[in-house]
Structure 1
Amino acid sequence: MYSKELTKGTLQPIILKLISESDKMYGYEITQCVKELTLGKIDISEGALYPILHRLEADGILTTEKVFIGKRVRKYYSITESGKKVAIDVSSELNDFIQTLSLIFKPKAVAK
């Protein structure tokens, strides 16, 4: 599993990417999807997830819908139209950042 320091800056882009590719998702579903897609290497805690979801909702990037499942209420998050553009921009920026990091971290060619 990667350290929290390493993954911290990527959580919002990860969350936006997953929700933008789905009709709607709830918190636990997001954490399990990330864990599954990354083969357990990225584990998003509730303490990290929900502040991001609440901020994105407050910023108008996500909307919520409460669904009653028996006696429990499940809060689903969906991306807004303006949020779709934000998700694309954030994904593009992150991909560019990854390419830039590869300039520093790629193995150096061995001179012969």
Structure 2
Amino acid sequence: MKGSLSTIVLKLLHDNGRMYGYEITQKVKELTQNDIKITEGALYPILHKLEAEDILTPEIEKVDGRIRKYYKITPKGNAEAIDRIAELRAFADNLNLILNPKISLG
């Protein structure tokens, strides 16, 4: 999962518009029925790296008296997200073929 974390983040932001860090961690837990838990220590370096690469842009907003940093995907990020999602899907499909080979009757 380690190498696919940035793709997971991009997929969520691509689908949801903008999200803040804790929201991303909770959405992953929800979608995977608690199988995948992303720590802040793993998530925030990815968010900062994607921001530095102009793939994400932050939006600061005050919510209930607290400052919250939302991340939104940039146009460059949308193209990157589509490419990375396609690559990860192809990898998952091939991994599934390896793990569950069909028995040839030939």
Query: Unmatched 5+ residue regions in structure 1?
Result: 1-6
Measure, in 1, the Cα distance between the counterparts of 2:92 and 2:38.
Answer: 20
Q: Tell me which residue corresponds to 1:89.
A: 83
Say whether 1:46 aligns with 2:28.
Answer: no
Tell me the CA shift for residue 70 of structure 1: 3.6
Tell me the CA shift for residue 110 of structure 1: 8.2
* 1:17-36 matched pairs, under 5 angstroms: 17-36=11-30
Say whether 1:106 aligns with 2:96.
Answer: no
Measure, in 2, the Cα distance between the counterparts of 1:110 and 1:62.
Answer: 46
Q: Normalised by the size of structure 1, how large is the TM-score?
A: 0.87
Percent of paired sites with the same residue:
54
Q: Normalised by the size of structure 2, how large is the TM-score?
A: 0.92
Tell me the CA shift for residue 99 of structure 1: 1.4
Aligned pair count reads 105
What amino acid is the match of 1:83?
G
Structure-2 change in CA distance of 1:54 and 1:106 (3 Å): same
Q: Tell me which residue corresponds to 1:79.
A: 73
Q: 2:56 aligns with which of 36, 44, 62?
A: 62
Measure, in 1, the Cα distance between the counterparts of 2:35 and 2:98.
Answer: 22
Measure, in 1, the Cα distance between the counterparts of 2:76 and 2:94.
Answer: 27
4+ runs deviating over 6 angstroms: none
Query: Unmatched 5+ residue regions in structure 2?
Result: none
